[in-house]
Amino acid sequence: MRAALPVLVVLALIGALWYAAVPFMNIRVSLDLAERMGETVEPEGVNVRRELSVPTLLLNNPGRIGETFRLERPRLPTPGQVLSELWATSGAMVLEGRGFSKRSLIYHGWITLRSTLSGFALGLALGLAGAVAITYARVVERSLMPWAIISQTIPIVALAPMIVVLSSQIGVEGRGLPKAIISAYLCYFPILVGMVKGLNSPSDQQLDLLKTYSASGFQSFWKLRLPASMPYLFASLKVGIAAALVGTIVGELPTGAISGLGARILIGDQFGTPLAIWAALLAAAILAGLLVTALDMVQRSVLRRRGMAA
């Protein structure tokens, strides 16, 4: 409970700021709509209002502020609107027994989760293999590391469509693989960097100790380097899984995908339904939170087994 309090305070603060911003963001849309419905607003005419600042409009039409919280297509929906949209497209559908219909965010979240996990697995394998190679052969560090760094400077939005096009060129069916590749592309790097650091964290004395036992390279990896790298591994896994999720969503955006949270965001944009965009965004955030929390729990149990929890 004591741990939850600061989080709740921050959450309340964000909510308050959000609500405070809503009238400012929505007053123009709200006035335009009211005028079109034949009501009197101050001043009249879209072009006249365009010349005026938002605070002036709010001062002129205090009676309309309430409406800015209830618009169907707001510029900025309220947290309450987002939450009820999220509920309507997830929990409510589950209650109706349509939890897995193509309109449900649970279905789209599942699609995104699946590719995130396969991308994460791919990125994890790449990152680990790279880190092991770098630890055991300095040459690899000099030849691999510059490319790894360059790979992270290329904007993924530029690369994502190319990966999709190329993979369909070589005859890969469906969007699963290219999405996983994009997501692996984003998440291997933090894992690589973290694990290089972790595998090299044993001190010279610890390494010398194993040498006095004439331990093989494999034994010193298994008994020393790998266990010593655990704290680093978990730190980079958490960064990595978040990156993998971002990669998947980016992979779902530009490619004409119709399922996945990224596709929901894109479709919401095309059809002008901001509530759908925000609900999909929130769903993505919740998914990221769940993934990181799951890793955190694994970390705790691993560390506890190693006697590291005081």
Partner 1 sequence: MTAAPVISAKDLSLVFHTGDGDVHALKDVTLDIEKGEFVSFIGPSGCGKTTFLRCIAGLEQPTGGTLTVNGLSPDAARRARAYGYVFQAAGLYPWRTIGGNIRLPLEIMGFSRAEQEERVARVLELVELSGFEKKFPWQLSGGMQQRASIARALSFDADILLMDEPFGALDEIVRDRLNEELLQLWARTEKTIGFVTHSIPEAVYLSTKIVVMSPRPGRITDVIDSPLPRERPLDIRDSREFIEIAHRVRDGLRAGHAEEAL
Tokens of 107: 């279905």
The smaller minimum CB distance to partner 1, of residues 144 and 302, is found at 302
Cβ proximity to partner 1: between 169 and 205 the closer is 205
Find the shortest distance in angstroms from Cβ 196 to partner 1. 20
**CB atoms near residue 242 (< 10 Å):** 20
Residue 219 touching partner 1 (CB under 8 A):
yes
Q: Which of 32, 72, 208, 296 binds partner 1 (CB under 8 A)?
A: 208
Supply the minimum distance, in Å, between the C-beta of residue 203 and partner 1. Answer: 7
| 101 φ/ψ sector (left φ>0, alpha ψ -120 to 50, else beta) | beta
224 interacts with partner 1 by CB under 8 A: yes
Least CB distance to partner 1 at residue 300 (A): 14
Q: Which region among 14-22, 52-60, 211-219, 289-297 touches partner 1 (by CB under 8 A)?
A: 211-219
Using CB under 8 A as the binding rule, whether residue 201 contacts partner 1 is answered as no
Closer residue to partner 1, CB minimum distance, 93 or 224: 224
Q: Which of the stretches 112-120, 140-148, 219-227, 256-264 binds partner 1 when contact is defined by CB under 8 A?
A: 219-227
Query: CB of 59 within 8 A of CB of 85?
Result: no
Q: How far apart are CA 300 and CA 286, in angstroms?
A: 21
Contact 241, 291 (CB under 8 A): yes
Do 174 and 115 meet the contact criterion of CB atoms below 8 Å apart? no
Residue whose CB is less far from partner 1, 70 or 223: 223
Tell me which residue has tokens 């309109």: 103
151 near partner 1, judged by CB under 8 A: no
Q: Which is nearer to partner 1, 127 or 202 (CB)?
A: 202
d(Cα 260, Cα 246) in Å, to the nearest integer?
12
Position of tokens 């894992």?
A: 191
Among 47, 153, 205, 270, binds partner 1 (CB under 8 A): 205
- With CB under 8 A as the contact rule, the residue among 223, 271, 298, 301 that binds partner 1 is 223
Residue from 155, 214, 270, 272 binding partner 1 (CB under 8 A): 214
Binding-residue total with partner 1 (CB under 8 A) = 21
Answer for the pair 82, 279: CB distance below 8 angstroms, yes or no.
yes
Answer yes or no whether residue 66 interacts with partner 1 by CB under 8 A.
no
Q: Helices H, strands E: what count in the chain?
A: 15, 0
152-188 core/surface letters (b: 16 or more CB in 10 A; e: else): beeebeebbbebbeebeeeeeeebbbbbbbbbbbbbb
User: Does residue 243 contact residue 188 with C-beta atoms inside 8 Å?
Assistant: no
Residues between 248 and 307 that touch partner 1 (CB under 8 A): 306-307
Q: Does 145 bind partner 1 (CB under 8 A)?
A: no
- Tell me the closest approach of the beta carbon of residue 309 to partner 1, in angstroms: 10
At 87, list the tokens. Answer: 């509920």
Residue in 58, 209, 267, 295 binding partner 1, rule: CB under 8 A: 209
